[in-house]
Amino acid sequence: MMSQSNMYRPVSSLVFVPFLRLEEEYPEETQIYEIESEIDDAHRVDRPVKDLVQKRQQIIDSWVRRVENELSTEFSDERKKELERELNRARQYENEIIADH
């Protein structure tokens, strides 16, 4: 039987897992990941990606607009902070698109 002191591992025994996301993933992010995967697949087989890139941009633009609209009508300070974090996340995707060009 395990003693009480050995029941829990110390924090130093945690393993870093780079693909593990500790932040909430928004539905738009899932859509973006799926489209980026399709873009990668298309690049591998030399297929055009213009439509996929446009679709990704539309999702990002729609996400930013949705969060901005929610933020403009929200009264709860806690919810506003959540929405601001989400808006920052959406804008990061927007900035990545700009940097790719």
pLDDT digits (tens, 9 = 90+) for 51-92: 999 999 999 999 999 999 999 999 999 999 999 999 999 999
Q: Tokens for 96, please give them.
A: 């990545």
Eight-class DSSP state of 95: H
- 75, 78, 83, 89: CA torsion to nearest 10: 160
Within a domain: residue 26? no
Whether residue 43 is predicted with pLDDT greater than 80 in this model: the reply is: yes
Total structural domains within the chain? 1
Residue 45 confidence class, pLDDT cut points 50, 70, 90: very high
Within a domain: residue 25? no
- Whole-model pTM over 0.75: no
Whether residue 100 is predicted with pLDDT greater than 60 in this model: the reply is: no
Within a domain: residue 38? yes
- Which pLDDT score, from 0 to 100, does residue 25 have? 82
Structural domain including 48 reads: 32-100
Whether residue 9 is predicted with pLDDT greater than 50 in this model: the reply is: no
- Which pLDDT score, from 0 to 100, does residue 96 have? 82
Within a domain: residue 81? yes
The position carrying tokens 């298309």 is 42
26 φ/ψ angles, rounded to the nearest 5 degrees: -85, 150
Give mean pLDDT, residues 13-36: 74
Within a domain: residue 67? yes
- Which pLDDT score, from 0 to 100, does residue 94 have? 87
Within a domain: residue 39? yes
Within a domain: residue 46? yes
Identify the H or E element spanning 63: helix 50-73
